[in-house]
């Protein structure tokens, strides 16, 4: 699948690329908003604890903007020795991998004195010439019947439910962000499309994807065609998209809930105390909410400070964008929200919506706008059918130069688990094959690693990071973040030459929480006993859940947690050319919004996929006004063979699947990095919760 983008060479300021590593203990089963990691059966039997990197996504944003003058910057070479677990050791391979990267000036004070300038990648609509328009018309005549669209049609798309960052096949349901954005681009140039009619209903995606969709709505409007929104059920996120439309309509009985935003933190300390479970937690990082969740009964001051800042940033960004779109002052918008307005008539009177109409009435108005008679049917083409229209037909197939796009979405695992569908999550061994194929091929001038992941297995993340580093040594690699790219997802991004994040992307949380559960009192209550025979002083460190740590075990556990945190923090500081004490200020398990992360040097540039493409073109010495072909390395999923495979596995493997499920639910070990127990209401309904439940949903959803 290829994608053509026209971009302008306008420049914006960026910040230098960053790196962070995280690690923390997975808690017991939590509400659906919490993220839980369960090791595979093979890991359950392994004596050493497995390391994992993950975080619950709650993408957020503030309204910070910045612009600084630039000065010429030198090139600096980084070696893989900078990322060795032992700072004094050499690389195991004995080979230094060097990746050239432009960086800012001296950072001895922890902040760049000068910044590198990257192109914005802003979309610019360009009218086709007479000859190209003729060629496009000829291609439309020879297109397959299912790719043909009636002239004067309106593209209708229902924006609701989950929005995946992966490509979708004809056998799958739900929206695909890359296909959705591509439809806007195709419709802008398609002479058969008169405008777009959007049905906007409750969304189940992060704010990063919402920002990307909103940007493409505004880009489409540059073509001069209309965009009309229809919102029967509307919250803050839905209105954030609707206000980008030219007109917004709602039925008389519409549900408008523009009441504000909230954040919640859950605590299990009281529950554990009542049932006889003692969490023995070693937390490194005062902002690590996962540790608080397990042992506390109320929120800590540090956690309250972090969540308050995140909420203020998100709410502030929403107020700023809405006030700018509606031509109102920020104070007026906030006052309106605080009045708790729900009457549709008042929303119309105060200019929040264009008018009050039912869907059929809006369609009648569209027919009148297009000059159609009332008795005639409005020609419409829906999202799924229009996704099948080839860009080649519209003269948007791209240029000679190719850029590979490698998408990585979901939780990270080293190998595919028994409960996962063939396309669920990030499987390191599969992604590594794609990375190697791009590195070995001479067809691609650059590569973009598109990451939408809360993290996962640390070993898998490190293996993928290594392959990305090898790829970056051969050709430019740009990391583009969607809703969330934290922990293991951020680990992957560190292999790239530059990191691009949405201003609503979630990142940070550089901290460590580890521990185990003492189930002795619970076992006593239910009459269960467990005896352990071991050899080795610390053999029962994580195996003996029926008793608390012995003093020497507690000391070893604390030292290992501190060592893990020190290694993660120091590697992050090394990768950012930042003093350790400065990185310590950005670490401590704190979560940052995209803009805050950029201002602290944790990411390089604020923007979406278009800006990542522009930066990749710049690094590959491709002129900004020259179209390129984006080659998707990840096939749409689930495919028909995967669907059939899932049916067969379901029919013959139910008993085995349930046994494995029970086994995984009762065994949790290792170090995790999460933001458990935090619920951002109306901010992000994306479910990166219990991976077992998610895998079952993915598995059954493919049937």
Q: What is the pLDDT of residues 10-48, one digit of tens each?
A: 333 333 333 333 333 333 333 333 333 333 333 333 333
Q: Is 500 exposed, middle or buried (0-12, 13-18, 19+ CB in 10 A)?
A: buried
How much is the pLDDT for 382? 92
Average pLDDT (82-96) is 36
Percentages of the chain per state (helix, strand, coil), in multiples of 5:
35, 20, 45
More confident residue, 664 or 314: 314
Contact partners, residue 140, CB within 8 Å, separation at least 6: 148, 192, 393
Q: What is the dihedral of CA 553, 554, 556, 561, to 10 degrees?
A: 140
Cβ-contact 503, 595 below 8 angstroms? yes
Average pLDDT (676-702) is 42
487 is catalytic: yes
Average pLDDT (220-227) is 96
Q: H/E element holding 515?
A: strand 512-518
Query: How much is the CA Rg of the chain, to the nearest whole Å?
Result: 26
Does a cis peptide bond (omega within 30 degrees of 0) precede residue 638?
Answer: yes
Per the prediction, the chain carries an average pLDDT of 76
Q: What is the pLDDT of residues 240-253, one digit of tens each?
A: 999 999 999 999 99
pLDDT at 597 over 70: yes
Phi-psi sector, 87: left (phi>0), alpha (psi -120 to 50), beta: alpha
pLDDT at 137 over 80: yes
**3-state SS track over 218-243:** HHHHCCCCEEEEECCEECHHHHHHHC
How much is the pLDDT for 75? 35
* Residue of 23, 40, 56, 487 with catalytic role: 487
How much is the pLDDT for 692? 41
Lowest mean pLDDT among 128-142, 242-256, 287-301, 663-677: 663-677
Domains and CATH numbers, the chain: 11-121+395-509+560-701 (3.90.226.10), 151-258+341-386 (3.90.226.10)
Average pLDDT (511-524) is 83
pLDDT at 502 over 90: yes
Percent of the chain with pLDDT over 90: 36
Band (pLDDT 50/70/90 cuts) for residue 149 is very high
Cβ-contact 164, 174 below 8 angstroms? yes
Average pLDDT (46-54) is 38
Cβ-contact 648, 45 below 8 angstroms? no
Q: What are phi and psi of 547, to 5 degrees?
A: -145, 160
- For residue 550, the 8-state DSSP code is P
How much is the pLDDT for 369? 93
Lowest mean pLDDT among 335-349, 560-574, 689-703: 689-703
Compute the C-alpha angle 190/158/6, nearest 5°: 35
Lowest mean pLDDT among 23-32, 388-397, 601-610, 670-679: 23-32
C-alpha to C-alpha distance for 509 and 235, rounded to whole angstroms: 28
How much is the pLDDT for 683? 43
Residue ranges of the alpha helices (H) in 475-608?
488-493, 520-526, 551-575, 580-586, 594-599
Band (pLDDT 50/70/90 cuts) for residue 417 is low
Average pLDDT (470-497) is 89
How much is the pLDDT for 104? 36
Cβ-contact 219, 227 below 8 angstroms? no
C-alpha to C-alpha distance for 528 and 523, rounded to whole angstroms: 5
CA 698 to chain centre: 18
More confident residue, 578 or 330: 330
Q: What is the pLDDT of residues 652-683, one digit of tens each?
A: 444 444 444 444 433 334 444 444 434 444 44
More confident residue, 582 or 77: 582
Residue of 177, 203, 56, 66 lying closest to 507 (CA atoms): 56
How much is the pLDDT for 420? 55
Q: What is the pLDDT of residues 542-563, one digit of tens each?
A: 788 888 888 998 899 888 888 8
C-alpha to C-alpha distance for 55 and 451, rounded to whole angstroms: 13
């Amino acid at each position: 699948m290829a994608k053509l983008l026209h971009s302008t060479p306008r420049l914006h300021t960026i910040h230098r690329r960053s790196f962070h590593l995280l690690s923390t203990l997975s808690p017991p089963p939590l509400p659906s908003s919490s993220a839980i990691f369960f090791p595979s059966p093979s890991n359950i039997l392994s004596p050493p604890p497995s390391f994992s990197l993950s975080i619950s996504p709650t993408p957020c944003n503030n309204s910070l903007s910045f612009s600084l003058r630039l000065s010429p910057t030198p090139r600096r070479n980084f070696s893989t020795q900078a990322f060795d677990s032992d700072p004094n050791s050499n690389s195991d391979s004995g080979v230094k991998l060097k990746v050239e990267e432009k960086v800012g000036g001296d950072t001895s004070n922890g902040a760049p004195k000068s910044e590198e300038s990257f192109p914005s990648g802003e979309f610019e609509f360009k009218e086709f010439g007479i000859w190209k328009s003729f060629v496009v018309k000829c291609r439309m005549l020879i297109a397959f019947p299912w790719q043909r669209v009636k002239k004067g049609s309106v593209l209708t798309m229902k924006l609701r439910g989950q929005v995946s960052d992966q490509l979708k096949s004809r056998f799958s349901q739900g929206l695909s962000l890359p296909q959705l954005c591509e439809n806007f681009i195709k419709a802008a140039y398609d002479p058969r499309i008169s405008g777009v009619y959007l049905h906007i209903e409750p969304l189940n995606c992060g704010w990063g994807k919402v920002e990307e969709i909103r940007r493409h709505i505004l880009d489409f409007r540059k073509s001069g065609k209309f965009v009309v929104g229809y919102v029967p059920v509307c919250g803050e996120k839905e209105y954030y998209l609707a206000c980008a439309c030219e007109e917004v309509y709602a039925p008389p009985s519409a549900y408008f809930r523009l009441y504000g935003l909230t954040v919640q933190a859950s605590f299990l300390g009281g529950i554990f105390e009542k049932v006889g479970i003692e969490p023995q937690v070693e937390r490194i990082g005062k902002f690590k909410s996962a540790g608080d969740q397990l042992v506390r009964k109320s929120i800590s001051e540090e956690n309250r400070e972090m969540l308050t800042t995140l909420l203020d940033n998100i709410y502030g960004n929403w107020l700023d964008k809405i006030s700018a779109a509606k031509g109102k002052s920020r104070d007026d918008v906030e006052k309106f929200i605080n009045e708790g307005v729900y009457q549709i008539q008042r929303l119309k009177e105060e200019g929040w919506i264009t008018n009050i109409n039912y869907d059929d009435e809006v369609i009648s108005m569209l027919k009148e706008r297009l000059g159609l008679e009332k008795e005639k049917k409005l020609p419409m083409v829906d999202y799924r059918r229009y996704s099948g229209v080839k860009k080649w037909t519209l003269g948007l197939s791209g240029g000679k130069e190719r850029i590979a796009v490698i998408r990585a979405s979901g939780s990270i695992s080293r190998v595919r688990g028994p409960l996962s569908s063939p396309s669920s999550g990030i499987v390191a061994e599969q992604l590594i094959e794609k990375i190697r194929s791009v590195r070995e091929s001479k067809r691609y001038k650059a590569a973009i690693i598109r990451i939408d992941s809360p993290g996962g297995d640390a070993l898998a993340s490190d293996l993928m990071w290594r392959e990305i580093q090898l790829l970056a040594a051969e050709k430019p690699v740009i990391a583009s973040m969607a809703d969330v790219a934290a922990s293991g997802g951020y680990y992957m991004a560190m292999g790239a030459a530059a990191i691009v994040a949405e201003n609503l992307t979630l990142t940070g949380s550089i901290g460590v929480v580890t521990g185990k559960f003492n189930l002795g009192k619970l076992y006593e209550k239910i009459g269960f006993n467990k005896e352990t025979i071991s050899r080795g002083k610390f053999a029962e460190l994580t195996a003996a859940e029926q008793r608390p740590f012995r003093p020497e075990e507690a000391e070893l556990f604390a030292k290992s947690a501190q060592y893990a945190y020190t290694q993660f923090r120091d590697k992050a500081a090394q990768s950012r050319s930042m003093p350790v004490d400065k990185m310590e200020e950005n670490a401590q398990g704190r979560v940052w919004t995209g803009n805050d992360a950029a201002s602290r040097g944790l990411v390089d540039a604020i923007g979406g996929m278009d800006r990542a493409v522009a930066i990749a073109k710049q690094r590959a010495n491709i002129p900004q006004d020259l179209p390129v072909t984006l080659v998707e390395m990840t096939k749409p999923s689930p495919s028909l063979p995967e669907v059939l495979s899932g049916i067969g596995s379901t029919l013959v493997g139910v008993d085995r699947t349930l046994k494995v499920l029970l086994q995984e639910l009762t065994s949790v070990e290792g170090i995790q990095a999460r933001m458990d127990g935090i619920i951002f209401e109306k901010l992000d309904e994306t479910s990166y919760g219990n991976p077992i439940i998610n895998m079952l949903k993915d598995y059954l959803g493919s049937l």
